[in-house]
Amino acid sequence: MATDVDHPLFARFAALMAASEGPVELDRRRETLVGLSGRVIEIGSGSGPNFRHYPDAVTELVAVEPERHLRERAEQSARESGRPIRVIDAVADRLPFPDGSFDAAVAVLVLCSVPSQSAALRELHRVVRPGGELRFYEHVIGTSRRLAALQRTLAPGLAKVFGGCRADRDTTRAIEEAGFRIERNRRFLIRTLPEVPAAPRILGTARRVL
């Protein structure tokens, strides 16, 4: 086994949640991926809910998924999609690819879960070519003080239940600190009560400038 991410219960929950998404969430996935082309890497692809939303101009998608149960589902989704998708067992913080080997990278609801955001983003910055893009859709720390305080309080306990997922990360800042320039960042709140700790979202595009 190449990785040590093993969350069998959370994996089943994540796959179930992805399979039961409604039209609004599916639109957000499409919005994240619209206009992509060439060779693309997606980290933490889960069961592959993004796969069917990639534009035809994407000539190869490498999907990185370290959790065995989710990877098996992703492999099935890849086969069913009929698209050029390769699913690999690796972690975002050690990507087995040369520098500048992708036109774009995609991170959807995963920068909450990687053990180190800075390590994962440093790797994404390395494998995307200069001028290439990072597309992101993530839940993040809120801008309201009360919500942020609640997220900080709940984050350690939630992480234990939800496969290491942290509700208190400032992902916009981490993307910039990794050397990407943010070109578009749509912020919004999810309005359903059970999702309050993960309510603040960011969706956008960042570019590797150097």
Ligand X SMILES: C[S@@+](CC[C@H](N)C(=O)[O-])C[C@H]1O[C@@H](n2cnc3c(N)ncnc32)[C@H](O)[C@@H]1O
Contact segment (CB under 6 A) with ligand X among 91-99, 151-159, 174-182, 195-203 equals 91-99
Q: Is 113 in the site for ligand X (CB under 6 A)?
A: yes
Which residues from 24-43 bind ligand X, rule CB under 6 A?
Answer: 43
Q: Which is nearer to ligand X, 96 or 131 (CB)?
A: 96
How far is it, in rounded angstroms, from Cα 110 to Cα 44? Answer: 6
Give strand pairing partners of 133: 104, 207
Contact 10, 163 (CB under 8 A): yes
Give least dist CB 17 to ligand X, A: 7
| Look-up of token digits 């893009």 | 133
Q: Which of 36, 41, 58, 91 binds ligand X (CB under 6 A)?
A: 91
Residue 17 has phi, psi (to 5 degrees) of -60, -45
Contact segment (CB under 6 A) with ligand X among 32-40, 75-83, 110-118, 145-153 equals 110-118
In the shown chain, the binding pattern of residues 121 to 150 toward ligand X, with x for contact by CB under 6 A and - for none, equals ------------------------------
Q: How many positions of this chain bind ligand X (CB under 6 A)?
A: 23
Q: Which is nearer to ligand X, 133 or 138 (CB)?
A: 138
Q: Which is nearer to ligand X, 17 or 182 (CB)?
A: 17
Strands 85-88 and 102-108: unpaired
Ramachandran category for residue 71: left, alpha or beta (phi over 0 → left; psi -120 to 50 → alpha): alpha
How far apart, in Å, are the Cα atoms of 180 and each of 22, 149, 156, 177?
31, 28, 28, 7
Give least dist CB 129 to ligand X, A: 21
3-state secondary structure of 208: strand
How far is it, in rounded angstroms, from Cα 88 to Cα 1? Answer: 11
Q: Which of 40, 41, 49, 85 binds ligand X (CB under 6 A)?
A: 49
| Look-up of token digits 């619209």 | 34
By CB under 6 A, name the binding residues for ligand X: 5, 14, 18, 43-46, 49, 64-67, 70, 91-93, 108-110, 113-115, 165
